[in-house]
A and B are shown apart, each in its own frame.
Chain A
Amino acid sequence: MAAVAPPGNSAQQQETVDSVIGVARSMERLDAWCEKWGDWCNPILVKETRQALKSRQFVITFSLLLFAALSWTIIGTFSLMPAIYDTPSAPRMMLGYYFVLALPMLLVVPLAAYRSLEGEIDDGTLELLSITALSPKQIVLGKLASAMLQMLLYFVVLFPCVSYAYTLRGVDFPTTVILLGMLVIAGVMMTIVALFFAPLSRSRSGRVMMLLVVIMLLVGAEWLLGLAAFEMITNERSLLGWEDLVLVLFGVVLLVVPALGYLLLTLAAAQLTPVIENRSTKIRVSLMVVNATVVACVTLGSTDPFDGMELLLVGGTGLMLLWVLASSMLVAESAVLTPRVQRDLPQSFMARATFTWLAPGPATGLVFSTINVWLLAGIAVGAAFYYGRDGNAFALRDQKMMIQFVFAISSYLTCFLLLVYGLMRVLRRKNNPRVEVGFAALVVVAVFAALGPYGIELYLNDFLDFPYSAWQATNWVWTLYNIGDGVDCYAVIEAMGTVGVVGVLGIMFWNPALVRPRRTATPERVREEREKMDRDKMDRDKMDRDKMDRDKMDRVPSSSA
């Protein structure tokens, strides 16, 4: 048949066939690429995306978002007529779009992520997942990635509307970018917060409470961000008014926020990790990362002494609260190191000298916390000297007060941590309390340290007023109040600091095995198995590479033809 067909027609047919084959090959390559990308992707992301796109919640939210955006475009535009043609009208339109977008970004998506992780626990699927090759961190990151994908979809829907509002003039480009950037970052952060709270409690009442806390936080974030957006748009407070702090703001956004996000994700993953695993080291590392980022931001602000001081106070207070919470939990960890953890302990002299403090355990936790608290105290005092060097940001009195304040808090915290350490050791003899009990113990110790001597002396004085004395040395409330009042409390601070530091050193030398645990050998059978796994992986990779090479070879003749 082909022989009798006219030559021109045959060439045309051949061309059509070639183009069809070409398209089919391209589709095949695209399919293979998608397949490969799907394999590379976090399985939770794949599953969650499939689920989310089919879920009623997504369909309803997406439809409502579209409807609200369209409605606001029509209503807003008509309400601004005819002024819209000659006066800047962007603020009003932008504000409307902002609130339309903020609702799913700050409320719906984080709550869906919370419910998703909570659902895994409730429905028993977390157990099924925990016996797969997925790590707890992958589970949490998969949930986060899925939430971010949904955010991206909502964002893409609203993007044309925001562009339209921008063309109406009245809101400059940097403000628009900051507004949207703020919303995205807040959305991601609130999702991380929601994921952190999801596995926190396993009891029914606890879960209800956690849900309420999350809703309150999300509504609070929505309100705060809405207020900030309103201020930025209506009062024309664009980025141009914040030149002084722009570096610091970028520092906070690019350093502190990711560091806090990383810490919360690590904490969320730690809650899903079995007790036998090492959950503490990653948390300790992320705490150090937060320290470093806050210090970096404070350093960024040091160009202006007054702004620098403000930053120092805000950053210092934040870190103080973080370390009060974290250190109390670190000293409440179990002292038992499982063989699994012992196998991964540092081995060389240098590694043991430096990384041992990252190993789990209350004694290493105590040393780690003390080192960090005193290091931060040293940095804060150094900064106080730096800002007060010419007396421009600080009066000498204020400088002294701040130094005393920092040292007093560090000293008291070290002493109280020692007591919590002892208390938890006693508690752990017969029970296995959660690490959160450490914080409760710290609160109890702090309350007794303040009220105990005060109550006794008050009783001895027939309930009459009495002056501050050495007997009130443990009364941290009174000591801090005195420091704020300008009273010199160096003696008390020195005494408390010495007791604390000597106590910590005492624990280090009294019980070296507990503070510096030793590495144990990995069983031969486990080593063999791991080597086999590595070999299998290498073989698989080689097979993949060979397959890719074969595919390439197959493609070459067809393209040259």
Chain B
Amino acid sequence: MMHEQGKKILDANAKVELAIGDSSAAVNEAGAAQISIGNKTHSHATRELGSASLPAVHVRSEDCIEIRRLYRFFGETKAVEDVSFTVKRGHVFGYIGPNGAGKTTSMRILATLDLPSYGDSFIDGLSCVNDPELVRRRLGFMPDSFGTYRDVNCREYLDFFARAYGVTGAERNRRLSWVLGFTGTEGMASKPIRGLSKGMKQRLCLGRALIHDPSVLILDEPAAGLDPRARIDLRRMIRDLADQGKTILISSHILTELAEMCDSVGIIEQGKLLATGSVEEIQDQQVEKRELAIRVLERSNEAAAVLQALEHVGEIIIDGELLRFEFAGDMREQAELLALLFARGFPVAECTSHRQSLEDVFLQVTEGLVQ
């Protein structure tokens, strides 16, 4: 009888979860309740979400960051919808998506600043929902906005946050010196924050996130509004931090930069994670067609006719000696195609294959979804 009643209560509580209210309280609490219930409760939430509920216990693994079936609703708007991914220790993970895709929302949940409607996120196996104070000790967060104080200089600002994170005594001074040095803000240490340039503010903001020596960094659009030199410096700093063993989750609009510094990326659009993996993996997954350009020194029209008859070959554009076309086959088929041209006696001078960039992949993945 008691068990039945308990189930009823939990069932009723879980209903709140799907009320899709705009207040975080209900959704969070319900989400948290769901976690505690485990997969034994036949709650509305579980039924409607239609798949396995979350495990009741934390699982330790090699993954430093884990987002597990994350949902976040703001009223009727689904800001994040069933997002799951993991980031390995010491890796840089790029979070790609247009404005309003749900990047910041999911990062804020990871940073324990917001609560999910359903699901959970973990840092080192510790729940961001249930144990935020343990998560915060190992987490540095750099939001897209820069919170400043009046009448405070850079050193005082960093010193205050060091104290707030519980860094004391000589350790605090050591960390302060290191952060000022690492971010290149030593020269600005005694200058008031309000007078700093955007680039310097970003550096200081990164310094603030690093002041307590966190093992995980969450950087929301750190390169936004920076000039090329500042971007290069930032990229260098992020790579240095990753080399020091820190796990970094970074979001950006500048996809080429992410491709250079990230070990893996995730593409999110309209709250849904569309693809995850290393840049190469995603490219391989997404690349259905490559553009081939073959220079045939003689009889290019004839060569075009031969190629056109082959499978996987798209419409051929003849540009003098150059034949350009989309090719959907794999590398072996590409080799066979070239062998055929040689066998037929065409003087093939060069063959180039253009692989899609991360930007192309992003556009391809989000095709039809971008508003």
A15 at the interface (CB under 8 A from B): no
- B2 at interface, CB cutoff 8 A: yes
Q: A39-B168, A275-B28, A525-B126 are in contact. Are A432 and B21 (CB under 8 A)?
A: yes
Chain A residues whose CB sits within 8 angstroms of the CB of B21 once the complex forms:
430-432
Q: With contacts A131-B139, A338-B33, A340-B32 known, is A275 near B134, CB below 8 A?
A: no
Closest-CB distance, A54 to chain B (whole angstroms)? 4
CA distance A335 to B163 in the complex (A): 37
The answer to whether A429 and B133 touch across the interface, beta carbons within 8 angstroms, is no
Q: Which of A147-155, A368-376, A441-449, A510-518 contacts B (4 or more CB under 8 A)?
A: A510-518
Contacts of A5 in B (CB 8 A): none
Q: Does B169 contact A (CB under 8 A)?
A: yes
A313: Cβ under 8 A from any B Cβ: no
Q: Is the CB of B28 within 8 A of A47?
A: no
Using Cβ atoms and an 8 Å threshold, which residues of chain B touch A123? 147-149
Kindly provide the distance from the CB of B41 to the nearest chain A CB, expressed in whole angstroms: 13
Give complex CA distance A525, B123 in Å.
Answer: 12
CA distance A432 to B28 in the complex (A): 11
State in angstroms the CA–CA spacing of A274 and B116 once bound together: 13
Neighbour of A51 across the interface among B131, B139, B150, CB < 8 A: B150
On chain B, the residues within 8 Å of A274 by CB distance are 112, 115, 132
- The residue on B at minimum CB distance from A277 is B132
Q: In the complex, which residue of chain B has the Cβ closest to the Cβ of A125?
A: B147
Do B27 and A432 touch (CB < 8 A)?
yes
Residues of B within 8 A of A524 (CB): 57-58
Does A526 touch B at the CB level, under 8 Å?
Answer: yes
When the two chains form their complex, are residues A132 and B136 in contact, meaning their CB atoms are under 8 A apart?
yes
Most chain B CB inside 10 Å of its own CB: which residue of A46, A124, A335, A339: A339
Contact of A338 among B113, B130, B172 (CB under 8 A): B130
Residues in A neighbouring B131, C-beta threshold 8 A: 340, 526, 529
- Residue A549 lies at the interface, judged by CB distance under 8 Å to chain B: no
Q: Is B305 an interface residue (CB 8 A)?
A: no
A124–B149 alpha-carbon span in the complex (Å): 10
Q: Determine the residue in chain B with the shortest Cβ distance to A523.
A: B58
Instruction: Give Cα A363–Cα B143 distance, bound, in whole angstroms.
Output: 39
Q: Is the interface on chain B under 10, 10 to 19, 20 to 34, or 35 or more residues? A: 35 or more
Q: Of A46, A50, A339, A529, which is within 8 A of B36 by CB? A: A339
Is A336 an interface residue, CB under 8 A from the partner? Answer: yes
**Mask for A392-431, Cβ within 8 A of B = 1, else 0?**
0000000000000000000000000000000000001111
List B45-96 residues whose CB lies under 8 Å from chain A: 57-58, 60
- Hey, which chain A residues are within 8 Å of B32, CB to CB? 276, 336, 338-340
Enumerate chain A residues within 8 angstroms of B35, measured Cβ to Cβ.
Answer: 339
Q: How far is the CA of A514 from the CA of B12 in the complex (A)?
A: 12
Q: Are B145 and A43 in contact (CB under 8 A)?
A: no
Contact assessment for A55 and B36 in the assembled complex, using a CB-CB cutoff below 8 Å = no
Which residue of the partner chain A has the closest CB to B17? Answer: A336
Known contacts A133-B136, A430-B19; is A340 also within 8 Å of B164 by CB?
A: no
Contact yes or no, A39 B169, CB < 8 A: yes
In-complex Cβ contact of B25 among A39, A47, A50, A432 (8 A): A432
**Complex A-B: 8 CB contacts under 8 Å:** A35-B169, A44-B164, A54-B151, A125-B147, A127-B143, A131-B139, A336-B30, A432-B21
Give the A-binding residues of B (Cβ under 8 A).
Answer: 2, 5-6, 9, 12-13, 15-16, 19, 21, 23-30, 32-33, 35-36, 57-58, 60, 111-113, 115, 125-126, 129-134, 136-137, 139, 141, 143, 145, 147-152, 156, 160-161, 163-166, 168-169, 172, 208
Other A-B pairs beyond A429-B19, A514-B9, 20, CB < 8 Å: A35-B169, A39-B172, A50-B156, A51-B150, A124-B143, A131-B113, A274-B132, A335-B9, A336-B29, A338-B29, A339-B36, A429-B15, A431-B26, A432-B16, A432-B19, A432-B23, A432-B26, A526-B130, A529-B126, A533-B134
